[in-house]
Structure formats: structure tokens, C-alpha cells
Structure 1
Amino acid sequence: MGVLDKIIDAIVNLVVFIWDNTCAILNVVIPKLEPGHVVPKGAPGHGQKWPPYVPPKADDSRSACPMLNAMANHGILPHDGKNISFQELNTKIRQTYNFAPSFCFFVPRFAAGFLNKSYFNDRFELEELSMHSEKAIEHDASLTRHDVALVPDQGKPDQRLVLDLLKTATGKCPDGSPQMTIPDLSRALSRRRADARKSNRAYSESFFHNLFGSANSATMLTIFGGRIDDLKPMLMEERFSDNWEPRILDRFGLTMAKFNFTVIPVERGVDPKKFQ
């Protein structure tokens, strides 16, 4: 990346930061969405009615992200997981999960960057997002996948890992059903990082990847409200549970600013030494 490109990138990131914080402030002063009306009218999932779930075929492209795979499995993204534009991904994530528009621009643009593609002009397939490198977002010690050095195909969840994760839930929803908590996720990540260090000779981690791992986990608490009844089909089959909708009711969606209030406590609670 040349000097000019770095300057442009810094300016764009500054604008996104201001945009995101503006959305966060507006979310405080503007009335929230009504439950049952989070997904916008005309978008798949409006009224808690999702397109039919169709499992992926052998030649379909899938990523290491359950939430993106679910969108393909329900036909919100192309079912084969191919020929997707970054701008399409932006729009569909916003509609499906109620992330803030700033968030939905930042992440696909970041993905385009580590794939050396143009956010505005190029297309990709889901499998490409599983690229394992220091600059990419795929990381070791995932809660739903074994490391890429051990299992190169990151498109399918490991059922045992997911079941072990779901069993760690100690919270309770108002109706008494099990619910994941911040300490639960910190503990699960601690165990996974300790186990991955032992089983994977090529294991690597960095502050960025650890934080991103905690961010992935934090979506379970924010978008899914930690509810095991919703997380089980999402993480095991990569599909939406019946009558599901995002638990974020903010009118401008989940901002990065607000998200960090969950991500940082999750990561601060991680201590792999407890499981060595």
C-alpha cells in the first residue's frame, strides 16, 4: 500500500468512526424498533418469516462464519455462496442482523482489503473469507471450528465443539431457558485457546485475532441475546430458528461503539492459563 493509499484509508476510517458514533448517539435519543419489526419491510425475514433453509451442496462455497453461511443457506445471499459483491454483503447483513450501517460498511471493506479486491467493483465467494493470514480475519481457536492447520475445510462447524460450547451456558432467560453470559464466553475462549495451543503445532495468535475471536463470540450475546434456543440451530446447522429476529432493537442497529462494551469484557476475561 502506497503513501496515498494509506492516507485515503486513514481518512475513510476516521469518517467511519465519526459515522458510527453518530449512529450510537442517535440510538440513545430515537425510539427503538418494536419487537417483530426489526427486519425491514421487503427484506427476507421481515415479520420473522425467513426463506426456507436448504443445506449446502458439496460444491457450494461456505466460510468459517456461521452467520454468513446461514444467509446463504436461506437464500439471502446466493445459495452457492459465490459471485457476491461486497456492497451486496453490506446491505444484506444490515437487513438481516440489524448491524449499524457504519459496521456493515467497515467489515466488508476490510474483507475486500485483505483479499486485495475492490470493495466497489469486485466479487468474492464465501470460502475466500476463510483465508488464514496475519491480515485476514480467520483465526485459530474458534469456538465452532478446529484450526485450519488441522481441518482445512472451514465451511462446516464441528458438532462436538459447538455442543461443548452450548453446555457451558449458566444464565437464564426470563422464560427459564438457558442463556449464554459474558463469563461463559470468556471461559469457553480460554479453554479453546489452551486446547488449540496443545493440539496445533502451527497455532498462532495476535492481539488482533484474539479481539476478533471475542468479537465473533460477542455476537452471540448481542444479536442473539445469548439465547441457546436460537444459538443451537445457528451454530450447529447454520440456520435461523423459527420466528427468530435480531435482539438488537436500536433503530440504527448495533454500532461498533456499543458492540465494544461486550467485546472488551469478553476478551478481558480470557485466561488460557487456567486450562493448561
Structure 2
Amino acid sequence: MGILNKITGFFINLFIFSWDFWLLIFNLLTPSLKPGHVVPSHAAGHNLTWPEYIPPKEGDSRSACPMLNALANHGILPHDGRNITFKELNTKVRQTFNFAPSFCFFVPKFSADFLNRSYWTGRFDLEELSLHNAIEHDASLTRQDAALVPDQGKPDQGLVDSLLKEATGHTADGKPLLTIPDLSRALSKRRIDARKTNQAYTESLFHNIFGSSNSSTMLTIFGGRLADLEPMLKEERFAEHWEPRVLSRFGLTMAKFNFTVLPVERGVKTKTA
């Protein structure tokens, strides 16, 4: 059964990456979406109007991911963060953040696999996605390491403040902006500090790339704009009139995303930071 699962997984991933490549090509050949019209008309957040933000209450389930928590805080996913299907996660992330369909299938499928559940029929609570060293990892830019703070459902305000202070870029109208070098520098400092403060610290190339991927959503989906990132990272809510900065008609593909992720990770210098 193990060999069969590996063979099946290989062909599923081959399909996903081929699908993703063609979506990249279609994005190049088709006109972009117009600003103000990125979220589909039938989805929450269309016309730059988001459902009411309600902070989590005691007993609600939250993950280590601010974006997923924001979906629950705004009621786009169940507000209690529980009993969510992987297919529902796919749809809501796609509609809200304009990730490509290939991207939105790959990550929930990966999550279902590490939770030993079926993507097609399984359900989960948001906190389960914080399984250590699956998607959640040490040296996060918004959370203390799980060995130090087991509850990964809330952001560490000090870490978020430190991250936002790294911004050196500016928008055309002079507002602060995070850049690729800013994120590389923030990750460098965070990994060095985590190694010093967490005796159980673990690090691998996979988790470093995942950390750079998580960080790179700030540059792609949020365009690096601090005005949008601050409420997302500190309160896990959408800024008023926010919409994704990715205007590609078929969404942000994994292939296109890597043009941001890889430069961010290459810029991390843990020996010289």
C-alpha cells in the first residue's frame, strides 16, 4: 500500500505541476484582471467589501497562518475554525487571495496527506495545520517557536513589530513597503535568534524554503504594503477595501511564486546577519 501511495502521489504531483505550468502560460496570454475586480462576484470580499471582523473567542480553533485565521475571523471559513473540508479550504483561499487553482489544490492536498486524511472527504480544525515541522516550522516571522509557545494560534506582537520595522521600500505615494532584501534580512535575524533561544530548534532546506514561501505572500498577495500587512499580521483581519495585489487572470501560480521565493531564500545570510 505504501508503494502504491507513493506512485499515486507521484502522478498527482506531476499533474499538478503540469497544470500549474499551463496556467502560467495562460496568464501570460490573457489580459489581467482590473483592480477592484479581483475577488469573484459570488465570493465574500467582492467589490472591496469584507464580512465583519470578529476576533476569535475562547474555544475557537486557529492556525499558525495569519491568512487562514483571517478567513475564519471574517466568517469566510467557519468562525470557530472547526470541521472544515479540504475542498472548502481550496475554494475559499482561491476566491479570497487569487492563488492559482493548482496552488489551491496542492497545499490542501499536502495538508490532508500529513494529517493522514482524504482530501476528498476529510475534515480538520485550523489548529491541526500547526502540526510541528509539517507546514508549521521554527523561526517563523510571526510566531515564537512551538517548543517555547505551544499554542501557535496567536501572533507574537513583538515579532510582527520587528518584521514591519525592516521595511525600507516605498510605494509611489511614499507609503512604507517591504522588499525582497527586507524579508531576507528579517529571516536571517529570526533564524539566528531562534537557534539561540530554542534548544529544540530544527531546520532543514524544506522548512527554510517553506518559511521563505510563507514570507513571500507578503510581497505577492499583499504587494509588501505595510498598510495592508499590519492588520493582517497583528489582528489577522483584512484592511478596509483590501484586495489581492495579484491581478493575473488565473491567479498566482507556484511557478511564478518561485520568482519571489527563491530570491528571498538566497538572500538569507545566517552567518553574517
TM-score normalised by L of structure 1: 0.98
Counting only pairs closer than 5 Å after superposition, residues 1-276 of structure 1 correspond to structure 2 as 2-133=2-133, 136-275=134-273
Aligned residue for 1:80, secondary structure, equals coil
Distance of 2:75 and 2:11 partners within structure 1: 35
Mark the runs of 5 or more structure 1 residues left unpaired by the alignment. none
Distance of 2:265 and 2:15 partners within structure 1: 26
Counting aligned pairs with the same residue, the percent is 70
Distance of 1:125 and 1:254 partners within structure 2: 26
Distance of 2:272 and 2:224 partners within structure 1: 24
Distance of 2:141 and 2:3 partners within structure 1: 38
Mark the runs of 5 or more structure 2 residues left unpaired by the alignment. none
The count of aligned residue pairs is 273
Distance of 1:204 and 1:2 partners within structure 2: 27
Distance of 2:271 and 2:207 partners within structure 1: 18
Aligned residue for 1:62, secondary structure, equals coil
Aligned residue for 2:272, secondary structure, equals helix
Aligned residue for 2:271, secondary structure, equals helix
Distance of 1:270 and 1:66 partners within structure 2: 22
The CA RMSD over aligned residues, in Å, is 0.6
Distance of 1:200 and 1:160 partners within structure 2: 17
Distance of 1:234 and 1:274 partners within structure 2: 30
Deviation at 1:190, TM superposition (A): 0.1
Distance of 2:81 and 2:271 partners within structure 1: 38
Distance of 1:274 and 1:2 partners within structure 2: 43
Aligned residue for 1:215, secondary structure, equals helix
Distance of 1:128 and 1:251 partners within structure 2: 32
C-alpha deviations, 1:218-270, integer Å up to 9, x for none?
00000000000000000000000000000000000000000000000000000
Distance of 2:209 and 2:58 partners within structure 1: 32
Deviation at 1:273, TM superposition (A): 1.3
